[in-house]
Amino acid sequence: MRDFKKDLELCEKAIPGPWKYANTANMGHVLQMPYINIHGQKVMAIVLKEWTPLENIKDNLEFIVQAREGWPEAIKRVMELESEVKRLKAEKEEL
């Protein structure tokens, strides 16, 4: 069973969004993240196509974007539902 609290902490440590996928004319397929401050300089991190087979690059980068943007929300929803189930079980036991 996953530890959603740890998963959420991991998500919250990552660079906040929005993350985007782009197929650029001069650089090819890239994963764009917001500017971050590294040693006083603003840097935009990108992942270039060399790290994965070209036929999978768009799908892989789109997956990363959607996971980064959607996973924290899904985890929060699961945690809310788990709390509600726990509350309802306790309420049932009191009946």
Which of the two residues, 24 and 55, has the higher pLDDT score? 24
Which of the two residues, 86 and 21, has the higher pLDDT score? 86
Of the chain, the percentage scoring pLDDT greater than 90 comes to 21
The long-range contacts involving 63-66, CB below 8 angstroms and separated by at least 24 positions, are: 64/19, 64/21, 64/31, 65/19, 65/20, 65/21, 65/31
Whole-prediction pTM: 0.61
Q: Can you give the residue range of the structural domain that contains 72?
A: 4-94
Number of domains in the chain: 1
Res. 43: pLDDT tops 70? no
* pLDDT, tens only, 54-80: 666 777 777 888 888 888 899 999 999
Between CA 50 and CA 16 the distance in angstroms is 24
